[in-house]
Amino acid sequence: MSKAVKLMELDAIRAEFAGVQNMVVLEVGKLDCAADSNLRAMMRKKKIKIRRVKNSMARKVFAEHGLGAKADSPFFTGTTMYAWSTVADSAVSELARAFDTEINGPKTAPTYKNKLSVKGAFAEGQPVSFEIAKKMPTRTEAIGHVLNLILSPASRIAGQILAPGATLASQIKTISEKETAPAGA
């Protein structure tokens, strides 16, 4: 490949990965054409883009974009494919869960078994394992968790303040019901 062609391809990769901070890294050495096409079609429906990139070029572009993978990272060995969401502000966990569902699904697992493996993921530009990426909360889940942590002490205090009054009211009601009961009962 001539230097001019390499530079054009490098520019195209730079433009394509501009702003991408969350992605899944796949090893696709033994993936056949049909399985590759099916994977791309399923991911396209989920608004996930997949790109096979030469490792030396990916290493260079990722370093320029500030992704935290080292040059000797296992992300840059073998036949590697990168997948990222085209939806703005999507979390790496959504992406990882989509791939986990597709790769390990009951209908598709035999297709990808021993042909496709997940090397890991990038979460906010930092390399993480795939298992950690699947467990990370989405932005909405994280906000919900924080709100729950903020509101739970107030809820507990309100419950503790109201509990004695509720207990007293219950006891008074029980006593009043006993007094109104007929004497012969």
Give the chain's length.
Answer: 185
Which residues are 123's β-sheet partners?
Answer: 126
- The secondary structure element, H or E, covering residue 156 is helix 139-180
Question: Would you give the end-to-end CA distance of the chain in angstroms?
Answer: 102
- Is the Cβ–Cβ distance between 92 and 84 less than 8 Å? no
Amino acid symbol at 103: I
User: Which CATH homologous superfamily contains domain 3-136?
Assistant: Ribosomal protein L10, N-terminal RNA-binding domain (3.30.70.1730)
Per-residue model confidence as pLDDT tens for the chain (185 residues): 688 988 999 899 888 888 888 888 888 888 888 888 888 898 899 888 999 988 888 888 888 888 877 777 788 888 888 988 888 777 888 888 888 888 888 888 888 888 888 888 888 888 888 888 888 888 888 888 888 888 888 878 888 888 888 888 888 888 888 866 565 55
Helix pair 55-65, 3-17: axis angle to 10 deg: 50
Question: Cα separation of 168 and 93, whole Å?
Answer: 49
> What is the structure's pLDDT at 69?
75
Question: Cα separation of 127 and 120, whole Å?
Answer: 7
Q: What is the pTM of this model?
A: 0.71
C-alpha distances (whole Å) from 26 to each of 9, 94, 106 are 21, 16, 20
Which residues are 83's β-sheet partners?
Answer: 24, 50
135 CB-near residues (< 8 Å, 6+ apart)? 93
DSSP calls for 29-68? TT--HHHHHHHHHHHHHTTEEEEE--HHHHHHHHHHHT--
Distance from the Cα of residue 163 to its chain's centroid: 41
49 CB-near residues (< 8 Å, 6+ apart)? 43, 83, 84, 85, 86
